[in-house]
Each structure stands twice: as structure tokens, then as C-alpha cells.
């Protein structure tokens, strides 16, 4: 905790009930912090302690037995207690020099009460003080947190937050943003600044390659404690705040640092939201490109600027991200256009960050509840599909926290801006099959025969094909309310394995046999021959395409 809120052994000695006490050993440990007071009158007690306790005893556990006292003392040291207070009179008339020497050797303050005292008065006094100080610390922390949030509304919000953080902790504060110069509060000389940046940059780089939890990193350096706190949101770190303390950090330092980092993250997020809104207005032309309203490469070149040549040669995928908040009491959270646009821009902000992390250059445009991403692949060494799956996984996890559901369709890889409409149409077709295929992410190149079926413009041809091969099954299901079509699909998809089909249909084998007999009766005994079986499987896919609302 902050020095104003913590209680040291030396300060305890100044409390009213310690007026007659004296310190016999361990003067060097007087600055140890007292977290709690505990009375221990047994010889085995290691599981009772957590560290930082002031121990009170009458000596009943060891009396004048030096061997037992050493065992008692060893357990106190192992559990990192603050000090040991012994009352004279009941079990002890003197403290052997060996005991004093042992306490001195390990730096443990040994406090002696030369006459009987009421332990209950001591525990009540110190516990009340500690609790009151904790309460005061929490009040001050809440006040400072409110001030942090208020400061972020100003143009110099980050600077003011860092200044208040420094004055509240009395620590050296270092702020290292990704996109601007580091700041030191208070200012250091150029030599010290360079040394700190070298140390911290290596530590930050090591941390980001080993984990990405958002929790602080703590390490010791030349007798100082350094706390490195990441600042960011949406799965990306935008800056680091560092506290350099000349003491062991306490809960107060961690809490106030967390509050400061959260306030700065909100400020940075707000600025990035405004930037994203601006970028969104600048890339509205992408929608024209995807819908063939732009057919001239020179026009695209003007819109893109100097990066046109490089991007035009890179492979890319067009990706559709369809978003919807989960329903609450039969009403969607996104009921108006403004809410829909705001949610889309937040999704755009997160998507841009995550795509860039995985070495894609994204162009984004928003239309209703769909975000369209043209993701140019800047890394040819690792497969794009593998990295796209990582992007989608990160987005799904991130948006699940906001009760938002994402459905994703991905077109095939392409090159040249003027071919973007092809990949866009493929993404549309892929996402349209998400309900049918029961998957949140659909790649067009994984759709199989659906790719052909999409290119049959006359749906009457599909209807006729379905009736030719599946008509008897469809009529029977409609009349009897049975599930022969689903049974046939599962049976065929599993290469005629009755065991697997029964398991996936959640029916007993005998029920499956009955259904297969009925299917054979309706379709003929030759329905498992290669040509007819293939036609049946294509017919089932065509039926799914015509009726995407049905679940098979």
C-alpha cells in the first residue's frame, strides 16, 4: 500500500499498548509491514499463517526449551512474519541470549513485554487501525479513479493521468506508447532515459512474445521493484505504463496502476473509434468496387494513392462479418440505425487491429449489420487460411464478451482490385450457407458441390432435380411427419455406416433399420449404387440450397 496506509513494526511500537515493550533483537526489520495480528500458542502452526503477521505469544508452546523455541522461530521465518512479541510472566521469566542471537541473525524483530498485557487489547487496537487504513485507502482509490476518468475527457488526458499516478504513488512513472515518444514523470537525464528504455524495451518484447494476458509484469532491478502494466483493448496492446518503486509493491500500487491503465485505455479507444469512423467514411468506395460500380483501375489508383501498386499485386480474400447481438427478452439490442452503426464501427476497430496483428492489410466497409473486409495478405510464408482462422477465433472470443454473435463467410483468394467482386460474391454465397451447414465460419473453397449449384441460375432446374430423386422421400416426410430425408443424408454422409448413422441420429440400431427399409421401398433397392447415390447426395444439397431455413 501507499506509505500513508501501511503499518510498520516501528509504528506499532509507538502504539499505546506497546509503551512498556522493548525490542530485544532484529532492529533492521523495523520497517517490515504488519498485515495482521495473530496469537500462536502451539508448536506446529505453519498452515495457519500467510505472511506479514505480528505474532503474540506467552511462550506456552516452548516455555524454556531452546530446541522447541528454535523450531517455533524457524516456522515464523519460513512464513515471513513481521515480528514476534513475547509476554514475560506466565511461562517465561527471562529470554535466553541464544534466542535473542537467533532472532538477530535472521533479522526478525523480537519484542518483549516485561509484564503481563491483554492480547485482546493489542489485537483490537491494531486490527481497527489496519481496517480503518484499508478503508481510507479504498476511499482515496475511488476518488483518484474518478479523477482519472474525468481527466481523460480533456485534450491532455493521458498526461494528467500520468501526473496524478506519479503523485499518488511517489514512484517514477514511465509511459511507452507504440505510436509516439515515451514520457518520464518526473523527467530524467538523457543517459538515465536511454538506460531505462533499453531495459524496458527488452522486457516488453520478451513479455509480448511469451504471453498476452494484459496482467502486469514485476521484476527486481538494482534494489528497485519495476511493474510493467500493458494498456490496450480488443486484444491489442497500445502502450505500457511502468512504475519504479524503491519498496515492495503493495495492493494499493497495483490497484491504482490498473485504474490508470484502464482510464488511458478508454481514452485511446475513444480516439481510435473516431479514427475508425473517419477511415470508414474514406473507404465507402470499397462497396462500389465490390458491386462493380467501379470498373476503371485508374479510378481505384486515385482512391488508394501511392500504395496501389503493392496492394494490387498481393493476394487477398473478401470476408463478410455478419454481426448480431444475442436476443434479450425477445428484443435485439441493436434496434436502431445509430446503434447498428456504432456496433459495426466497434467491430471494425477490433477487426482492423486483429487482421493487422496477423499480417493482413484490411480495407473495411460497413453495410447494415455486415462488415466487409478485403484482407490483403502481407505474409507469403505462412498459409493465409491458417492465419485467417486465428483471426476469426480471436474475433469470436472478443465479441462473445459483448454478447455479440458473428457469422463469417470467406471468398477464395484473388488478385487485382478489379476482381474483388468475384471473391465478394463467393463470400456472400458462403455466408448464406452458414445456417444450413451449422457453422459460424464458412470458406467458399470448402463448400464442395454447393459451388456448382450456386451457378445454376434457373432454380426450376434444381427443383426438378430434387423432385426426380427425392420426391417420394419428401412426400412421405410431409405426410407422416417422419425424418427419412435427414436419415438418408446422415447415412450417405457416413458411407453407409449403420453404427455411426444411428449414433448421430440418436436412435437405436433397430429404428435405423426400419427407416432404411422404408427408404429402400421408396427409392428402390439400387439407391446405394454409385451413380444414384451421387445423385441423391447432390439432390440433398440442392434441397438445402433451396430451403436454407431447414436443418438437416
Assess whether 302 and 423 both reside in one domain: yes
Domain that holds residue 162: 154-270
Assess whether 460 and 420 both reside in one domain: no
pTM of the predicted structure, to 2 decimals? 0.62
The overall average pLDDT reported for the chain is 88
Assess whether 466 and 529 both reside in one domain: yes
pLDDT band at 331 (very low <50, low <70, confident <90, very high): very low
In terms of C-beta distances under 8 Å and separation of at least 24 residues, what long-range contacts does 249-254 make, across chains too? 249/218, 249/225, 250/1, 250/2, 250/6, 250/33, 251/1, 252/1, 252/2, 252/5, 252/137, 252/141, 252/169, 253/1, 253/2, 253/169, 253/171, 253/227, 254/216, 254/227
Assess whether 238 and 167 both reside in one domain: yes
Q: What distance lies between CA 139 and its chain's CA centroid?
A: 29
**446 assigned to some structural domain:** no
- Other beta carbons within 10 Å of 406: 19
Assess whether 123 and 19 both reside in one domain: yes
**551 assigned to some structural domain:** no
Per-residue model confidence as pLDDT tens digits over 101-158: 999 999 999 999 999 899 999 999 999 998 888 888 788 888 888 888 888 777 677 8
pLDDT band at 329 (very low <50, low <70, confident <90, very high): very low
**149 assigned to some structural domain:** no
Assess whether 264 and 298 both reside in one domain: no
Total domain count, the chain: 4
Assess whether 465 and 435 both reside in one domain: no
What CATH number does the domain containing 487 carry? 1.10.10.2840
Assess whether 357 and 409 both reside in one domain: yes
What is the 3-state secondary structure of 467-489? HHHHHHHHHHHHHHCCCHHHHHH
Assess whether 252 and 373 both reside in one domain: no
Assess whether 211 and 298 both reside in one domain: no
Assess whether 297 and 321 both reside in one domain: yes
pLDDT at 381 over 70: yes
Q: Residues with Cβ < 8 Å from 139, sequence gap 6 or more?
A: none
Assess whether 341 and 466 both reside in one domain: no
Q: 415, 303, 310, 413: which is closest to 365 by C-alpha?
A: 303
**505 assigned to some structural domain:** yes
pLDDT band at 269 (very low <50, low <70, confident <90, very high): confident
Q: What's the pLDDT at 282?
A: 67
**383 assigned to some structural domain:** yes
Per-residue model confidence as pLDDT tens digits over 223-253: 889 999 998 876 678 889 999 998 778 777 8
Per-residue model confidence as pLDDT tens digits over 74-110: 999 999 999 999 999 889 989 999 999 999 999 999 9
Q: Please tell me the distance from the alpha carbon of residue 499 to that of residue 1, in angstroms, as a whole number.
A: 64
What CATH number does the domain containing 76 carry? 3.40.1390.20
Tell me if residue 214 falls in helix, strand or coil: coil
**144 assigned to some structural domain:** no
Amino acid at each position: 500500500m501507499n506509505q500513508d496506509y501501511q503499518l510498520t513494526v516501528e509504528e506499532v511500537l509507538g502504539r499505546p499498548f506497546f509503551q512498556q515493550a522493548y525490542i530485544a533483537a532484529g532492529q533492521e526489520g523495523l520497517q517490515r509491514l504488519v498485515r495482521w495480528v495473530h496469537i500462536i500458542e502451539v508448536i506446529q502452526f505453519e498452515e495457519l499463517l500467510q505472511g506479514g503477521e505480528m505474532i503474540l505469544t506467552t511462550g506456552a508452546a516452548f516455555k524454556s526449551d531452546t530446541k522447541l523455541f528454535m523450531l517455533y522461530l524457524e516456522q515464523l521465518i519460513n512464513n515471513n512474519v513481521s515480528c514476534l512479541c513475547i509476554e514475560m510472566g506466565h511461562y517465561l521469566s527471562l529470554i535466553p541470549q541464544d534466542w535473542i542471537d537467533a532472532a538477530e541473525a535472521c533479522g526478525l524483530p523480537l519484542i518483549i513485554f516485561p509484564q503481563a498485557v491483554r492480547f485482546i487489547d493489542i489485537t483490537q487496537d491494531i486490527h481497527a487501525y489496519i481496517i480503518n487504513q484499508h478503508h481510507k485507502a479504498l476511499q482515496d482509490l475511488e476518488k483518484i479513479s474518478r479523477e482519472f476518468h474525468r481527466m481523460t475527457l480533456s485534450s491532455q488526458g493521458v498526461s494528467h493521468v500520468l501526473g496524478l499516478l506519479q503523485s499518488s504513488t511517489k514512484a517514477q512513472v514511465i509511459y511507452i506508447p507504440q505510436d509516439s515518444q515515451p514520457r518520464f514523470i518526473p523527467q530524467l537525464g538523457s543517459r538515465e532515459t536511454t538506460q531505462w528504455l533499453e531495459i524496458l524495451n527488452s522486457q516488453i518484447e520478451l513479455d509480448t512474445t511469451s504471453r498476452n494476458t494484459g496482467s502486469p509484469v514485476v521484476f527486481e532491478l538494482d534494489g528497485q521493484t519495476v511493474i510493467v502494466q500493458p494498456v490496450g483493448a480488443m486484444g491489442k496492446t497500445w502502450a505500457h505504463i511502468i512504475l519504479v518503486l524503491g519498496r515492495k509493491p503493495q495492493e494499493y500500487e497495483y490497484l491504482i496502476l490498473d485504474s490508470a491503465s484502464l482510464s488511458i485505455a478508454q481514452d485511446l479507444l475513444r480516439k481510435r473509434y473516431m479514427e475508425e469512423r473517419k477511415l470508414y467514411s474514406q473507404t465507402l468506395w470499397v462497396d462500389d468496387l465490390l458491386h462493380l460500380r467501379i470498373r476503371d483501375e485508374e479510378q481505384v489508383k486515385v482512391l488508394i494513392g501511392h500504395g496501389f501498386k503493392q496492394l494490387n499485386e498481393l493476394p487477398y480474400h473478401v470476408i463478410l462479418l455478419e454481426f448480431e447481438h444475442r436476443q434479450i427478452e425477445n428484443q435485439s439490442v441493436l434496434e436502431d440505425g445509430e446503434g447498428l452503426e456504432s456496433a459495426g464501427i466497434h467491430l471494425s476497430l477490433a477487426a482492423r487491429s486483429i487482421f493487422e496483428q496477423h499480417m493482413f492489410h484490411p480495407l473495411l466497409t460497413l453495410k447494415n449489420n455486415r462488415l466487409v473486409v478485403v484482407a490483403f495478405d502481407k505474409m507469403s510464408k505462412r498459409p493465409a487460411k491458417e492465419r485467417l482462422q486465428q483471426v476469426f477465433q480471436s474475433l469470436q472470443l472478443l465479441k462473445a464478451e459483448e454478447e455479440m454473435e458473428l457469422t463469417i463467410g470467406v471468398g477464395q483468394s484473388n488478385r487485382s482490385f478489379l476482381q474483388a467482386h468475384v471473391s465478394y460474391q463467393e463470400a456472400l454465397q458462403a455466408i448464406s450457407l452458414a445456417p444450413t451447414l451449422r457453422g459460424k465460419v464458412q470458406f467458399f473453397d470448402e463448400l464442395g458441390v454447393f459451388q456448382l449449384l450456386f451457378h445454376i441460375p434457373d432454380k426450376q432446374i434444381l427443383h426438378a432435380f430434387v423432385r426426380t430423386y427425392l420426391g417420394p422421400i419428401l412426400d412421405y416426410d410431409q405426410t407422416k411427419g417422419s425424418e427419412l430425408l435427414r436419415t438418408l443424408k446422415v447415412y450417405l454422409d457416413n458411407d453407409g455406416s449403420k453404427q455411426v448413422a444411428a449414433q448421430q441420429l440418436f436412435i437405436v440400431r433397430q429404428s435405423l433399420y426400419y427407416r432404411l427399409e422404408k427408404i429402400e421401398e421408396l427409392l428402390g433397392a439400387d439407391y446405394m449404387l454409385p451413380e444414384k447415390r451421387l445423385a441423391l447426395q447432390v439432390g440433398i444439397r440442392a434441397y438445402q440450397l433451396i430451403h436454407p431455413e431447414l436443418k438437416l
